[in-house]
Amino acid sequence: MTASSPTSDRPVLRMRPKTDARRIRHGFPWVYANEVVLDRRTKALAPGTLAVLEDANRSPLGLVAINPLSKIVGRVLDRDPAMQVNRDWVAARVSRALALRERLFDAPFYRLIHAEADGLPGVIIDRFGDLAVIQPNAAWAEAHLDLLASVLLEVVGVSHLIKNASGRTRALEGLDDQTEVLAGQMPQAPIPVPMNGATYMADVAGGQKTGLFFDQRPNHAFAQSVAQGARVLDVFSHVGGFGLAALAGGAGHATCVDGSAAALDLAGQGAVAMGVSDRFAARQGDAFDVLSALQEEEAQFDVVVCDPPAFAPSKQALDAGLRAYERIARLAAPLVAEGGILGLCSCSHAADLSKFRTASVRGIGRAGRAPALLHTGFAGPDHPQLPQLAESGYLKALFFRL
């Protein structure tokens, strides 16, 4: 690990009197703007500046990256306030994350860096074989992007590196939305990604997020385990997440529903690559409208899974988001055949497991169905949770027998 150095040349971010610093000492990684003294000098610091965090009594708490433009004004980088953020420091964290993923997976397709839980706050890196996609969603990461890129190329050994700047968090940090090639080339065709025996086509150039959602891998596997011979409906399917996994597990047929024609085209390409296109169908349209139309058609499926975008991305959106989750459950439940399986997912960190489960069960009940909860799933181990940060445990999946 990199040696410490004197901190006298670093600015200081000091917590307000009566602000409890214990949660920082206990591992909470964020410092909010209303918890610190934001004088004229601090507000003038460039986003991404490294500083010493002190409590109200001037006792050092650690090294933080400051962004005066963000509600999260400080992100804890290291417990040692004198630590140098250089190649050795970054390489140690990337190497540790890489070693874990290599223990977990037999192929290099996974989330390599999951932000705070991997010691690089605000940094998301997904790996697709010889290519990696980085989302520097915090100002300090943008300021150190060249350093992060050089370590990825050397330590991980990828040849192609893409910066994806489409994340909502970047706007909150005052950062641009310009995607660019940092090394190698932008792929001209979707990248085939093997997971759970299925083949997914990842569009890292123009797809959602980094091109694929690795977090649902274990939940895809559970759905696959109950899909043998089943008629499957995958709503908000993106590139075919649950549908293709079910087909790989022997489902009789899978229908994928999404609002994006491009995503459904990629799902179809995945089905062709797997040799199951004769058991695959796509239906483009608004998910709520399609679910209502399928009810009118009296369609029935043995397995229905709904994996919508974050309906409650913030506390302010929580009530509306919970109503949307309830509505999804109410519309999906009548499509499940007697004794069939309904899977409902949420990636909203503001809607915790208890609230999401309550909304889901209420919706199922309003549809006149009686649920038994079979399985509760979360993100895969390449998306580790930081126990002190509830936001890192954002993904929930509930599977009911109706």
28-42, 173-187, 359-373, range with greatest mean pLDDT: 359-373
β-bridge partners, 400 = 342, 373
Find the catalytic residue in 256, 306, 345, 347: 347
Phi, psi angles (nearest 5°) of residue 276 = -125, 20
Q: Is 345 a catalytic residue?
A: no
Instruction: Indicate the pTM of the whole model.
Output: 0.94
pLDDT tens for residues 89-127? 999 999 999 999 999 999 999 999 999 999 999 999 999
C-alpha–C-alpha distance, residues 200 and 267, integer Å: 7
**Half-sphere exposure (Cβ direction) of 387: Cα atoms closer than 13 Å:** 2
Round the average pLDDT of the chain to a whole number and report it.
94
Q: If 0-12 CB within 10 Å is exposed, 13-18 middle and 19+ buried, where does residue 89 land?
A: buried
pLDDT tens for residues 14-38? 999 989 899 999 999 999 999 999 9
- Sheet-wide strand order for 280-284: 280-284, 253-258, 231-235, 301-306, 336-346, 396-401, 372-377
Q: Residue 6 has what pLDDT?
A: 52
Is 176's pLDDT higher than 90? no
4-13, 174-183, 372-381, range with greatest mean pLDDT: 372-381
Query: Could you give the angle at which helices 287-296 and 318-332 cross, rounded to 10 degrees?
Result: 30
Q: Six-digit token pair at 75? A: 């992100």
Which structural domains are found in the chain, ordered by start? 12-78 (2.30.130.10), 87-183 (3.30.750.80), 191-401 (3.40.50.150)
Could you tell me the pLDDT band of residue 173, with boundaries at 50, 70 and 90?
confident
